[in-house]
Amino acid sequence: MRISRSRWDSGIRAVAGAAAFSALGILLACGGNGERGASSDQEATPAAEAAASELVQPSQWWEVHPRPVYQSLEKVGVFQDWFHVYRLTEGTYAIYEPNQFEEALCYLVEGSERAALIDTGTGIGDLKAVVESLTDLPVFVVLTHEHYDHVAGAWRWNQIVAYDDPEGLAVMARGRSNASLRRYLADDYLWKPLPEGWDPGEWTIPPIEPTELVTHGDLIDLGNRALEVIYTPGHSPGSMCLLDAGNRLLFTGDHFFPGPLYAFGPDVSLEDYVASNRRLVERVDEFDYVLSGHNDPWVPSEVIPRVSQAFETILAGGGDYSEGDGLRRYRFHGFDVLVRADMVEG
């Protein structure tokens, strides 16, 4: 049995996961190298695996496709039979990977002088070729956090911006081997063929050394358009959101996406998550839409106060949840929250 990191829509079982391991491996040892999904030497019993799988992995996750939101967006095209591109506003593109379990999203954001690519997806296919077909501007990368499905394509660019957090930077500096990545192509991770000409045997993440570090409050200038850095640790130590105040957009990486929010790994801090939620609630009047790192690129901003309240409810001992093998899945309208029971008990 394979257990994977997942995301579920409210009322719809849908997943986009990380590694395939035993349930106990996820609960006790995920993120041993700074990411969710490290292996564990402990073997879970079949009963424990079955209990956890009910919480984290529905079968045939691709049956939700096409997700309804994409029918309302302007589709630019499909590239390499892998990347689906949508224009969200003038100069703002969502680049979506619906064919792999992560359902990763990255964003091309154009100013008058240069363009930022916010996150770089799984590294499957040639993302740079897609970006070059969309803009003639010079492009640099901004990474919202250090997890593999956001940094894997960054090596194709010379300029990389990341948050100045030692733990997050250390994860990027280690890179990833082919052996550690191949699991994300196994069994139920794919529902369509890989891009033609892309060799999974060569798939690695070279060590990443950002060329520019930012901190809370910094502005990333694109020319007549700026991205403000909002530090939002919790999901991971180096997580940040990016506020495009001029266009009233908030890019959240994995701090929020419509599905179950991953708040159970060893690199998660629930206290930081709560503080980061409050920080975003204080700014909610400055953006209309949330552009998340997975599943859905166009979520109304009213979800942010509800996410904040959800975490407050969990830490206060409230909320309805299902539990299996030490993992709790709390259910809320439009998203869920996954935590380890030991993080909230007592």
CATH of the domain at 59: 3.60.15.10
Selection from 278, 38, 276, 236 nearest residue 144 by Cα: 236
Task: Look up the domain containing 240 and give its range.
Answer: 3-344
Q: Does the pTM of the predicted model rise above 0.95?
A: no
Please report the pLDDT score of residue 60 as a whole number.
83
Residues whose CB is less than 8 angstroms from the CB of residue 197 and which lie 6 or more positions away in sequence, other chains included: none
pLDDT at 53: 56
**pLDDT score for 48:** 45
**Residue ranges in the chain modelled with pLDDT below 50:** 1-51
Q: Write out pLDDT tens, residues 30-62.
A: 333 333 332 223 344 444 444 455 566 567 889
Residue among 50, 63, 8, 52 at smallest CA distance from 28 = 52
Computed from CA positions of residues 153, 248, 231, 306, in that sequence, does the dihedral angle turn out positive or negative? negative
**CA 238/CA 25 separation, integer angstroms:** 23
Residue 56 confidence (pLDDT): 63
User: Is the four-CA dihedral 178, 179, 184, 187 of positive or negative sign?
Assistant: positive
Q: What is the spatial distance between Cα 188 and Cα 186, in angstroms, rounded to a whole number?
A: 6
The pLDDT score that the predictor gives to residue 9 is 35
Give the side-chain half-sphere CA count within 13 A for 230.
26
State the total domains in the chain: 1
SS3 assignment, position 283: coil
Q: What is the pLDDT of residue 284?
A: 98
**CB neighbours of 309 closer than 8 A, spacing ≥ 6?**
none
- What per-residue confidence (pLDDT) applies to 235? 97
CA distances from 49 to 37, 77, 82, 151, 345 (A): 15, 40, 32, 30, 22
